[in-house]
Homo-oligomer: A and B are copies of this chain.
Amino acid sequence: MNSRLFCFAGGKQGSWSVVKMAPVLGESLPEVARVDILNEDGPVEDAAWVLRGVTSNERYVTRGERNALVERQAAIGRPAITHAAIIPIRKNAQWWAMTQDERRAVFEDQSRHVKDSLKYLPAIARRLHHCRDLGGDEPFDFVTLFEYAAADSSAFEELVAMLRSTPEWKFVDREMDIRLVRDVYS
């Protein structure tokens, strides 16, 4: 199996408890009690929904931006972290019809996606999963997983509000916001 493939299964099991599930735009997903995040494919028993995605090469960042990100960012999976968010989005046909230079202009020149996100690192860790080219009829184009400490919850609210206010987000036509917590035993 492709080690870049991740599976987000909503249902009655999994190490994350759902504290909030809300459609931001477009059709919602069924409410669930727990979410399991697996680094594999395969059927998930009793799941109300399953989102799949692969981590991949970055599509927009330049070398300078990558270096700035790598210098600051934390990896997903820090053991003491208790809070997470799963934000699946789909972009509209107009976005996908744009050429690379046009999408890059919206992503960074107009929306400052990287530049304005940098100050939230390393407190907020992020992993982007691509769904659009999996070959199936996926309900979303991307699933982003965020992890942060309870103390950084308000910084996270600020980050998502900032992203949703950008020109890039005018091309988003479906979005869910799923907030998770887990128990950490020290």
Contact = CB atoms under 8 A, between A and B. Distances in A.
Most B CB atoms within 10 A — which of A56, A101, A104, A133? A133
Contacts of A61: 99-100
Given A63-B102, A99-B66, A135 B134 contact: yes
How many copies of this chain are found per oligomer?
2
Nearest to A100: B60
Given A2-B138, A130-B133, 11 more contacts: A41-B135, A52-B135, A54-B133, A54-B135, A56-B133, A57-B97, A58-B99, A61-B99, A63-B99, A133-B133, A134-B134
Interface of A: 1-2, 5, 41, 52, 54, 56-63, 65-66, 96-97, 99-102, 104, 130, 132-138
